[in-house]
Chains A and B, each alone.
Chain A
Amino acid sequence: MENDQDKLLGEVTSGEYKYGFVTDIETDVIPKGLSEDVVRLISAKKEEPEWMLEFRLKAFRHWQTMKMPNWAHLRIPEIDYQEIIFYAAPKQKKSLNSLSDVDPELLKTFDKLGIPLEEQKHLAGVAVDAVMDSISVKTTFRETLAEMGIIFCSFSEAVKEHPGLVQKYLASVVPYTDNFFATLNSAVFSDGSFCYIPKGVRCPMELSTYFRINASNTGQFERTLLIADEDAYVSYLEGCTAPMRDENQLHAAVVEIVAERGAEVKYSTVQNWYPGDKEGKGGIFNFVTKRGICKGDNSKISWTQVETGSAITWKYPSCILRGNNSVGEFYSVAVTNNYQQADTGTKMIHIGRNTKSTIVSKGISAGFGQNSYRGLVKVLGKAEGARNFSQCDSLLLGDKCGAHTFPYIEVDNPSAIVEHEATTSRIGEDQIFYCNQRGISTEDAIGLIVNGYAREVINKLPMEFAVEAQKLLQISLEGSVG
């Protein structure tokens, strides 16, 4: 670990967003704008069964009655949904039999992003589903996983090949009426990952989805559904990047997790969408609904997120703790630099007896960044013996940024114990100077301090990604002091 850290400190040379390139590839795009016809067109493009189209249309009709939420501590410019392209797919051969069928430009793109799709080249023990714009490009290690009964494929394929499972679980955690962005997603979602771990199986490798926006003026609306059957275990990771563009692009995803009795799901995110430039121009609007249900007794869902990208982030990965003795965790580091804004946190809903939740949120604000933690801990009347511990820390660099905390606590059972701690600290010039005086540059000093501050969360990430995340933290804060 120590060595990795040295290496990564040495590697960092510039504060520019490294993933801002555009892949020159022929793309199948539909006309911009949103209507019932567009919803039908998306469904037709994906050759979906009737029930899927019905679901979309129901959602679309409901969405038309909804208004954009405005309670978050965010300044969101008006979004014109008629100016957005809702489906864009890199053109490639219909069915992929082997990797040689994948367009070399696509392979190159993912290589450049550090996500080689050739299995032998890939990080040992990680299976990847690569999604570009609206479709899944390639899922690795499918056969290996299939031998254990694990299903890991694109959402579109799941609709065709495992309709029973999809119909049983889709929208069972995030109903299509849930909120403005989730409803929009339900109407127009394009692709994403689907994963099912059968009873008693421990998934032997990290599963991961890598999302890439490439086409311009396009929104990305992916849908992920993760099911861990009784006593199953899976660790899942999502990563994402986008080209640098002057216009804002919308990303409205839905992730649903179901943990049956005794199952455990670890879901990690390293979110690095293009954050916009130093003046706040461009960047991704990241409006995401993520929710898991601990359905059975003794189940556990753990969210870990490192959020460094996006112009605006609006997301609250949550746990519904329905099973008795179930456990929910939320570990988060969110960085806002320049003109980035984030309103993020979690909801822990205690329903079952002796349910436990832990919330650790570390906000880092720099430049003119605005960073809010918003969290709900709700203990229902029957949740005898429920426990929650929340720790919300804010770290400020400079004096033009802001940190805010909005904790909501609702307790309806007198035996519940709910604890909330919060701190705010500032990286002082004297700390930086102290490092400088020992020969450490300002950038490296910030890296040391920030990584120290975020360590508790970073340590929850799978090893390979922890290193990546540390690097990202440092890069995204470069140029923020002095």
Chain B
Amino acid sequence: MQTEFLIQIKDLKASIDNKEILKGLSLEVKPGEIHAIMGPNGSGKSTLANVLTGREIATVTAGTVTFEGKNLLEMSPEERAREGIFLSFQYPIEIPGVSMVNFMKTAINEQRKHRGLEPLSASEFLRQMREKKELVEIDSALTNRSVNEGFSGGEKKKNEIFQMAMLEPRLALLDETDSGLDIDALRIVANGVNKIRRPDTSVIVITHYQRLLDYIVPDFVHVLYDGRIVKSGGPELALKLEERGYDWIRKEAEVSEETWTTDRK
């Protein structure tokens, strides 16, 4: 039987150096849905992205994550990527000496191999590079350089979305992709994401600001607070947060935590 969800996160707990960061997080995303995750600094948003992509900074202590019916937590980071999970890094990494062309080609062909496809021919690969470069309006001067080396903050973010366009993931996690982008770049990148998306591509957008959500319109907005999702709603929730900040959530969260425990009995 086909599962209804692309990814299903249940009661996920994760610690860094024995300090619990994610404290029982649940989230379900269906194919094609866009979910926004907002929340104050340090609430665990990037940690969630790390846990989902298999970065070993945090240790999972409880909970399950099912991706297309498979146990995601058992997979290596590269397997998760090949299965179609893509992370646009909050802080993209520089790899001096490795050309973007070589990097992208290796990545694409690894993913193709995983799907039982032949490696792309050189000409087809270059054609895709050209096409996707136009989509996110990234300068050829950048893609001819080493991976992220000496790129400005905004250029790095653009480069992340360019890679997303090349890899065509099933689930994209965008961790503050809007930060560091100027107004024009924000529009280009956000519209790029919309163009890359196919009807069944799901996106989890981590952001602090409504401005990105003006372009990438979410189906659901969640507030991550102290390691848990404490509030979920529609796009209007983001607007409310923009207006009122997190204080009211903080108060509500503290209250609802108690009601939660009594409710359950």
Contact = CB atoms under 8 A, between A and B. Distances in A.
Interface of A: 2-3, 5-6, 9, 425, 428, 430-431, 433-442, 444, 448-449, 452-453, 455
Interface string B167-202: 100000000000000000000000000000000000
A481 to B, nearest CB: 13
Contact of A448 (B55, B78, B103, B114): B103
B39 interface: no
Interface in B65-86: 76-78, 81-82, 86
B110 A430 contact: no
Contact of B77 (A6, A9, A437, A455): A437
Contacts of A441: 78, 110
B217 to A, nearest CB: 26
Nearest to B89: A434
Given A3-B122, A436-B76, A448-B103, A455 B110 contact: no
Most chain B CB atoms below 10 A, which of A3, A9, A438? A438
Contact of B119 (A6, A440, A453): A6
Given A437-B89, A448-B102, A448-B103, 11 more contacts: A9-B106, A435-B107, A436-B81, A438-B103, A438-B167, A439-B78, A441-B110, A442-B78, A444-B110, A452-B96, A455-B97
Nearest to B92: A434
20 contacts: A2-B101, A5-B102, A431-B93, A431-B94, A434-B89, A434-B95, A434-B147, A436-B76, A436-B78, A436-B81, A437-B77, A437-B86, A437-B87, A438-B107, A438-B110, A439-B111, A440-B78, A441-B78, A444-B106, A449-B95
Q: Chain A contact residues: over half helix, strand or loop, or mixed?
A: helix
Nearest to B91: A430
Interface residues of B, number: 35
Nearest to A433: B55
A448 B107 CA distance: 11
Contacts of B147: 434
Contact of B95 (A3, A431, A444): A431
Contacts of B132: none
A434 B98 CA distance: 12
Nearest 10 A/B pairs, CB to CB: A452-B97, A436-B77, A438-B107, A439-B81, A434-B93, A439-B110, A452-B98, A439-B82, A436-B78, A439-B111
B106 A6 contact: yes
A9 B97 CA distance: 17
Interface of B: 53-55, 76-78, 81-82, 86-87, 89, 92-99, 101-103, 105-107, 109-111, 114, 119, 122, 146-147, 163, 167
Contact of A452 (B78, B89, B109, B146): B146
Contacts, number: 83
Given A436-B77, A448-B103, A2 B97 contact: no
A434 B92 CA distance: 8
B127 to A, nearest CB: 15
Contacts of B110: 438-441, 444
A455 B146 CA distance: 13
Nearest to B109: A6
Given A436-B76, A438-B107, A440-B107, A449 B98 contact: yes
A439 B122 contact: no
Contacts of A436: 54, 76-78, 81
Contacts of B109: 6
B122 A437 contact: no
A440 to B, nearest CB: 5
Most chain B CB atoms below 10 A, which of A437, A440, A455? A437
B102 to A, nearest CB: 7
Contact of B53 (A3, A430, A437, A452): A437
Contacts of B77: 433, 436-437
Contacts of B55: 433, 437
